Chain A
Amino acid sequence: DQQVKQNSPSLSVQEGRISILNCDYTNSMFDYFLWYKKYPAEGPTFLISISSIKDKNEDGRFTVFLNKSAKHLSLHIVPSQPGDSAVYFCAAEDGGSQGNLIFGKGTKLSVKP
């Protein structure tokens, strides 16, 4: 059973608009959440993270929101740029158990000029 779910395989957004990527999780013990970006023929690169003690973390154009009661997090990209076109992976872990990162299946974002 998937513990980290990204239910939208793809998303298309116009340049300059907001991109919202969503992620749901089932394990209430997860306390550390990350987003990775992946371009073709490259490894995933770390984008932004959030600890369960926060509900928002911002880094430039990227903001991650965490709703613990709904077991839901989202990544907002504002404004979206064509260079943001990539596959985005959500990941989570239970730091207390020294567990490992569990990844979602990814969402392919296309930002159109």
Chain B
Amino acid sequence: NAGVTQTPKFQVLKTGQSMTLQCAQDMNHNSMYWYRQDPGMGLRLIYYSASEGTTDKGEVPNGYNVSRLNKREFSLRLESAAPSQTSVYFCASRLRGAYNSPLHFGNGTRLTVT
């Protein structure tokens, strides 16, 4: 059982380049999330998808777009990368319903924008 898988693990971009971060989960979770972690800032929510077919903005959505491709996959796209987007990006998923359940995280993508 792989859990939440993120690709790539590392990426270096030049300012203005675009890229897509991929995320897939095999736990049959309905909700998926993208967070970024910056030193001293904790985990901040970029976008989330409460269920297949829906996406919503989180705390820091500017400069990003997302696609919930199917129940398993949720991608994050940077159309024109900026140095301020240098960060570690985490994808997470959870089963959301009548009860609370914890988030399960992937191992992250470390992105550097020069």
Cα(A95)–Cα(B96), bound, Å: 10
Cα(A105)–Cα(B40), bound, Å: 6
Measured CB to CB, the residues of B under 8 A from A are: 4, 33, 35, 40-45, 48, 50, 58, 90, 92, 96, 100, 102-108
Cα(A100)–Cα(B107), bound, Å: 20
Q: Do A43 and B108 contact each other (CB < 8 Å), given the known contacts A32-B100, A93-B100, A100-B58? A: yes
Of the four ranges (under 10, 10 to 19, 20 to 34, 35 or more), the interface on chain A belongs to 20 to 34
Q: Give the 9 A-B residue pairs with the shortest CB-CB distance, closest first.
A: A43-B105, A105-B42, A46-B102, A103-B43, A32-B100, A43-B107, A103-B42, A44-B105, A95-B100
Query: Which residue, of B41, B104, B105, has the highest number of chain A Cβ atoms within 10 A?
Result: B105
Complex contact A105–B4 (CB within 8 A) = no
